[in-house]
Chain A
C-alpha cells in the first residue's frame, strides 16, 4: 500500500465513524482524536476497521502511531 492509499483509507474510515466531521479539513499533523472528538470507543472502531481493511495486525502499542493522519499513513504503508 502506498502512503497515498493509506491516507485515503484512513480518511474514508474516519468519515464513516464521525460523519459530522470532515477529516479532509484537519491537518496531517493534527491529533485525530482531538480534532474529530473521538472517544475511546470511536477510536477502537477506527482501529478495528483499519485492521480489517488493511489486513494488518494493529496492537495497542501501535496506537501512538495512529495519532495523526500523516503518522498513520506512514505506519500502514510501512513494512
Chain B
C-alpha cells in the first residue's frame, strides 16, 4: 500500500486491474485504492510480470503493506509463471524461486514490519522458502486441501485454484476458503463502493449482478430501496480489523454506534482528520515565513480576452491557467523553492511538478500535481487543470499525481477572498497563494487609475530558504504576468 500523499496511513483496496501472469510496465495502473480523500489509481513502480495479488479486494490495510508481488522483467525468463510443486496453488510466488526477493508493489515504502502485519490474516509460510527446484507449470490445480475443505469450497462456490494456502506447505485451510469467499463476496465497483459509503450500506451484504457477482452501483441502490444493513466500514478501517468480515468487526462493543453513522459524514470526518494531521505536522515542523505582492493583471487579462475571443469555449483559458504558468516558470528560475526538505537538508526537485489545491464538493481538499508543468504552455496547462479537477472530484486520481508535487499552488481567489497565506505541504518547502482578481485603485506614473489586481503570496520553509529568495520568486512571477504573450 503506497503512501498516496503525506497525510495517508491506510487504504482500502477496491479493485484489481491486473491478474497474476499479466505483463505490466512502470507507470501502468494496476489497482484502485480508496483513501480518506478519494479513490486513487495506483501505478506500478516496476516493469515485470504480476506474480501474486496478496491483498484481497475490500480489505483495508496500513501503508507499507505488500499488495502484490511482481517478478521483474528478465527475472522470470527461465521460469515463466513457475510454481513449486506443493506450493500454494496457481498464484504462487515465482519471484522467490531464483532466490531473489519478490518486488513489492509498495516498493521502497513496503517496510518488512508492515508487510508482516498485513500477513496476519493469511500468513503464507511457503512464500519465503529459498532454493531452486524443478518448476512444472501448474494450471489451476489446487495443491493441497482436505476433503472437508474441498466440500466447504464447493458449498461456498470458491475455486480452490484461486486460493492461497496458509497451512503447512501451502495447504489450503478452511479459514482460507472462508476468507476467499468473504473477499469475493465483497467485489464491488468503485462507484458502487462510494455510493454504498454515502448511503451507509455495507457493500458486502449486497447481492452483485455484475461479472463474477461484482456489486455495481445499481445493486447498491436496489439494496437501499430494500432496506440493506448499515455498513461496518468505520470499524473495518481499523488496521487491526483488516480483512475481518464486516459483521464480526461491527459486532464489537462501542463501535456499533460509529458504524451506524451515515457514510458521508464518516468520510468527511476521516478526510478532516487526515488534513488535520498533515497541517499540524506542517506547522509543528516547518518554520514558515511569508512574503506577498500585489500585481496589476490588466495586461494578462487583456491578452486572455483577445485569445479567448478567437477560440471555442472548450479551448478558452481562465486566469488561473496564466497564474499556474507563471508559478511553474518561476519555480524553474528559483529552484531553491522547488523540491523537498528531507533529513535536515533540501533536495531540489528533478522537475517542476505543480501541486494544485482543489476543493472537493462536500468539503475537504486534495492537492494533485500537474507533472512537468514548466514544460506546458498555458493552453496545455489549462487542459491538464480541467482534467485534474474533474478527476479529483470524480475520485479518479493517479497515485503519482498525489505524491510527486514539488511545489503547491492554492487559488482561493476563485472563492472570492482577496488573499490567502498558505500552510506548506510537507515535505515541500513552498506554497504559492493567489487571491481574487479584483478592480482596485492603482497608481501608475503619478496618476490614479482603476486596475484589476491580484494579491500573490508565498509561504516558504525558512530551513530551506530565506525571505530574500521568497521575494525573488514573487518578483519573477510579477514580471512574467506583465508579459503574458511570452508565457
| CA–CA, A59 and B312, complex, Å | 9
The reply to whether A48 and B314 form a contact with Cβ atoms under 8 Å apart is yes
Q: Which of B305, B320, B389, B415 contacts A60 (CB 8 A)?
A: B305
Q: Is A37 an interface residue (CB 8 A)?
A: yes
CB distance from B361 to the nearest CB of A (A): 5
Number of B residues with CB within 8 Å of any CB on chain A: 19
Residues 377 to 426 of chain B near chain A (Cβ within 8 Å) = 385-386, 389, 414-416
Q: How far is the CA of A56 from the CA of B362 in the complex (A)?
A: 32
Contact assessment for B385 and A58 in the assembled complex, using a CB-CB cutoff below 8 Å: no
Residues on A with beta carbons closer than 8 Å to the beta carbon of B320: 40-41
The answer for the CA separation of A41 and B313 in the assembled complex, in Å, is: 12
Residue in B362, B386, B414 with the greatest tally of chain A CB atoms within 10 Å? B414
The answer to whether the Cβ of B319 comes within 8 Å of any Cβ in the partner chain is yes
Q: Is the CB of A41 within 8 A of B389?
A: yes
Give residues 38-92 of B contacting A (CB, 8 Å). none
Q: How far is the CB of A60 from chain B (nearest CB, A)?
A: 5
Q: Is B309 an interface residue (CB 8 A)?
A: yes
A contact residues, total (Cβ < 8 Å)? 16
Q: Main SS of chain B's interface residues? A: helix
CB of A39 within 8 A of CB of B313, answer no
Q: Are B414 and A20 in contact (CB under 8 A)?
A: no
Q: Which of B361, B362, B385, B416 contacts A41 (CB 8 A)?
A: B385
In the complex with contacts A19-B361, A41-B389, A48-B415 CB distance below 8 A: no
Q: B318 contacts A41, CB within 8 Å?
A: yes
Interface flags, A63-79, vs B, CB<8A=1, else 0: 00000000000000000
CB-CB under 8 A for A44 and B309, given A20-B361, A20-B362, A37-B415: no
Q: Which residues of A contact B309 (CB under 8 A)?
A: 59-60
Q: Give Cα A18–Cα B318 distance, bound, in whole angstroms.
A: 19
Chain A interface (Cβ < 8 Å from any Cβ of B): 18-20, 34, 37, 39-41, 44-45, 47-48, 51, 58-60
Q: A40-B320, A44-B318 are in contact. List 13 more A-B contacts (CB 8 A).
A: A19-B361, A20-B362, A34-B416, A39-B359, A40-B319, A41-B318, A41-B320, A44-B313, A45-B386, A48-B313, A48-B314, A58-B313, A59-B309
Sampled A-B contacts (14; CB under 8 Å): A19-B361, A20-B361, A20-B362, A37-B415, A39-B414, A40-B318, A40-B414, A41-B386, A44-B313, A44-B318, A44-B386, A48-B313, A59-B309, A60-B308
